[in-house]
Amino acid sequence: MGESRERVTRADVAKLAGVSETIVSYVINNNRYVARDKRKRVEEAVKELNYRPNNMARALKGKQSNQLLFIADHITNEYFSSIVSEMDKYAYDSGYLISLCANRNSSEFISQVISRQYDGIIISSASFPAEYVEQFSQAGIPVVVYKRIRYHQFSGNVAMLGTGLYEGARKAVRHLISRGCRNIVYADRISARGHVSPPDDLRFGGFVDEMEANGFLVGKENIVCGCHNQEELEEEIKRRLRMGSQVDGIFGRNDMIACIAMTAAGQIGLRIPEDIKVIGFDDSSISRFCSPKLSTISLKQKEIAKATVEMITRMVGGEHVEDVNFDTTLIERESTAVR
């Protein structure tokens, strides 16, 4: 059961075509003179035997492995999965297949990865140590880092790609302000382990900068963070909204947070957008299906994915690649409408 049929190798093709293995190799890689008739015979034999050069052998011999690795900490995110999905499309056309894994924070993991000879690595993890990135780079692997944190600089063959977090956050805040909000709260992520976004987080940074640029000082009262679960966040939001405070706008770190905030607001009888306006981030599907429909910031996953593959392809070819930044699109829906 499950007879493991012999693998078809170059030798088989050579035999069938009546030429040497070398000729087969030349035909496959199309990099040497080959007589027309032999080339044809080889091509036929390849088809007949359904031969395809073994990827492992090729990679070993120093060629590319034709694999890319995407390291992210929340693969489940619709935002990430759509990037991966798009990347898969572009990458496949360039002969790449994409691997995926969560960030393991250990040097063991790093050498794991290095030993697999990926042609390129994409990292989108705020908690990914800079030294590890440099290890990849030193191992000769091109790295594209999706910028999540300010002031990150890497030496070596590392390209930074700004996905629009900072610019998008500013845009979101600006939108709330333009809608009349004067007392905006930033709702940070939920983390079972109590993780809080680092102070130099780009989204949070965008919030602060845009607030201050408009003359609003940001203090503790403008930030909800450190919640361990949905209930805790709801309670915290409600606490902020009661307190007789003037809060009239909420910027959720992502759409889910924003939705939870809307739920909380609803529970204490506040109307959205009349009493309080809410905006999310990511333009994920819940933003279109929640009620009221959530205004949000849409990132350009498609373009980001395409650019990523292009950058890595070029870096593999030895080119130096400039950092890239993408902007975002404000999606206005009901949660920030004027009424």
Q: Does 33 bind DNA (CB under 7 A)?
A: yes
Task: Please select the residue that binds DNA; options are 5, 7, 193, 220, rule is CB under 7 A.
Answer: 7
Beta carbon nearer to DNA, 95 or 194: 95
Q: What is the rounded CA–CA span in Å between residue 220 and residue 244?
A: 16
Smallest gap from Cβ 239 to DNA, in A, equals 57
Of 18-26, 92-100, 128-136, 177-185, which part binds DNA (CB under 7 A)?
18-26
Task: Please select the residue that binds DNA; options are 15, 58, 150, 152, rule is CB under 7 A.
Answer: 58
The candidate with the shortest Cα–Cα distance to 335, out of 303, 296, 282, is: 296
Q: Does 15 bind DNA (CB under 7 A)?
A: no
Q: What is the rounded CA–CA span in Å between residue 266 and residue 78?
A: 25
Please give the span between the terminal C-alpha atoms of the chain, in angstroms, as a whole number: 69
Q: Does 269 bind DNA (CB under 7 A)?
A: no
Beta carbon nearer to DNA, 60 or 268: 60
Smallest gap from Cβ 158 to a copy of itself, in A, equals 8
Q: Which option in DNA, a copy of itself, none does residue 285 bind, with CB closer than 5 to 8 A by kind?
A: a copy of itself
Contact between residue 281 and residue 172 where contact means Cβ atoms under 8 Å apart: yes
Q: Does 20 bind DNA (CB under 7 A)?
A: yes
Residues engaged in binding a copy of itself (CB under 8 A): 1-5, 7, 50, 52-57, 59-60, 65-67, 69, 75-78, 80-82, 84-85, 88-89, 92, 97-102, 104, 107, 111-112, 114-117, 137-140, 142, 156-157, 256, 259, 263, 285-286, 289-291, 320
Q: Does 178 bind DNA (CB under 7 A)?
A: no
Q: What is the rounded CA–CA span in Å between residue 339 and residue 318?
A: 56
Q: Does 60 bind DNA (CB under 7 A)?
A: yes
- The SS3 call for residue 124 is strand
Q: Which residues of 248-281 are buried (b: 16+ CB within 10 A; e: fewer)?
A: bbbbbbbbbbbbbbbbbbeeeebebbeebbbbbb
Beta carbon nearer to a copy of itself, 101 or 243: 101
The candidate with the shortest Cα–Cα distance to 301, out of 74, 90, 66, is: 90
Residue 137's H or E segment, with its range, is: helix 130-138
Place of tokens 């990150």: 152
Q: Does 268 bind DNA (CB under 7 A)?
A: no
Q: What is the rounded CA–CA span in Å between residue 113 and residue 51?
A: 29
Beta carbon nearer to a copy of itself, 188 or 282: 282
Q: What is the rounded CA–CA span in Å between residue 336 and residue 249?
A: 9
List interacting residues with DNA (CB under 7 A). 7, 9-11, 19-23, 25-26, 28-29, 31-36, 38, 51-54, 57-58, 60-63
